[in-house]
Amino acid sequence: MAAPAPGSVPHDLQCLTISELESIAAQKMDKQTRDYYNEGADSGSTLRENISAFQKYRIRPRVLRDISQLDPSVEIFGYKSSLPLGVAPTAMQCLAHADGEIATSKACSNAGVVMGLSSFATTTLEDVAKAAGEKGSPRVLQLYLFEERQHSIKLIRRAKEAGYKAVFLTVDTPMLGRRNMEIRNQFKLPPHLKIANFTEDTRSDAAQTVMNGTAAGQDDVRSASTDKPEANTSAKRDEQKQQQVEASLPGYTSGGKRTAPTGKITFRQSPEITAHSHAANPTLSWERDISWLKQECGSEMQVWVKGIATAEDALLAVHHGCDGIVVSNHGGRQLNGALATLDALPEVVQAVQGQIPVHVDGGVRHGTDVFKALALGADFVWIGRPVLWGLAYDGQKGVEHCLRLLADEIRLCFALAGVNNVKQITKDYLVRVDRSGFVSRL
């Protein structure tokens, strides 16, 4: 479905910018949710620089260009997206609003933009696809390639059956970044929510382990309910022991030998440590895992790598047959002190030389940010946190409002910069401003 024509929807006078949306959302979310969504790793400097990097550039507008035929649409996954903008995969959206990923899916289809779904969503990938409708916009699945491959194999096969167009393999999490507020808050999902894509797996009782705050392998492991109140006490003890045997244990390396994670896929590991039990995978390698993943996805789904930040890795992505790259630093939540994604983008684009698409995420808060990313060579841009703020503001309507704000800003920027479409945007439309205020052409 095409996005509404500019001006066809009245302004929301309470919320005219993404910045205002962030402020309103902060008031609507509880502290645990707000901190989880908005925090970066360690001091948060990379998170902040993802945003401030856009201020290093200024737009060089052209005039008398006849911009009466504005068309910001782009082709992606065989679909005409209304904008050069997609909704990035973000975890556990039902924390922001009861409708969570369902609301986001419907909003994306109504706006005509692509949606990325997190493996750690609070709604199943099938339900998200169903919400988009048969003629809805495409969906891609963000994927953690677990050491226990069977978990990933099941997810990939389900995504293929549900019509997902690609997997975005997250490659920047060999270990998880340190997120201090997440640790301090002892983050866990409330009991009524679940990590939906793994609850059907009998070895992945995320609803029990994560949502009820039960630390896997602890003495307070809850026994499963039974239809017979008079069930044998011995049987209950046996069941508890079995739960402990299957309890989630993170992987570790000792004496040069690697032991993979075991048991259920969890998010909250213990009262002392907040972590995914399986997502971090220090064993991933270009040589072994990309070819395996491409074979598993077959012709039905493309394989992209999300988390590339250097020319060297971009060239390896091309060499190993990846279908695309997302320049990303996990929203500033992994390596603090890493390059802002906009700063990393030019060298990746230069290395790839158009052989595969290059997308970027991180720090986008205005339509002019999208324009600047495109001018620096990105083929497409993804947004994450603003959509979560839209969800918190007003569910599906809030996400639609977020996308509409950005769409209006993108169209206005195109017009005032003197371009009609994405193909006309080049680095000639930008200058870089250094710390001293001096301007230089790119």
Residue 342 · residue 308 · CB < 8 Å: no
Torsions phi, psi of 363, nearest 5?
85, 5
Which one is catalytic: 278, 330, 359, 401? 330
What does the block give as tokens for 330? Answer: 């996990």
Biggest alpha carbon–alpha carbon distance for the chain = 84
Q: Identity (one letter) of the amino acid at 388?
A: L
Residue 317 · residue 178 · CB < 8 Å: no
Nearest to 358 by CA among 313, 318, 325: 325
**Helix, strand, coil distribution of the chain in percent, nearest 5:** 40, 15, 45
The CA distance from 11 to 19, in Å, is 15
In order of 105, 253, 382, 391, 398, the CA distances from 401 in angstroms are: 14, 47, 16, 10, 5
Residue in this structure with the two tokens 């169209």, named with its chain if needed: 411
* 330 included as an active-site residue: yes
Torsions phi, psi of 155, nearest 5?
-65, -45
The CA distance from 289 to 156, in Å, is 14
Q: What is the DSSP string of 16-74?
A: -SHHHHHHHHHHHS-HHHHHHHH--STT-HHHHHHHHGGGGEEE----S---TT-B--E
Tally of helices (H runs) and strands (E runs) in the chain: 14, 15
Alpha-carbon dihedral sign for residues 334, 172, 37, 46:
positive
Residue 61 · residue 409 · CB < 8 Å: no
Torsions phi, psi of 440, nearest 5?
-135, 140
Say which DSSP state 216 is in.
T
User: In 250-287, which positions are buried (b, 16+ CB within 10 angstroms) versus exposed (e)?
Assistant: bbeeeeeeeeebbbbbbbbbeeeebbbbbbbbeebeee
Q: Which of the residues are catalytic?
A: 330
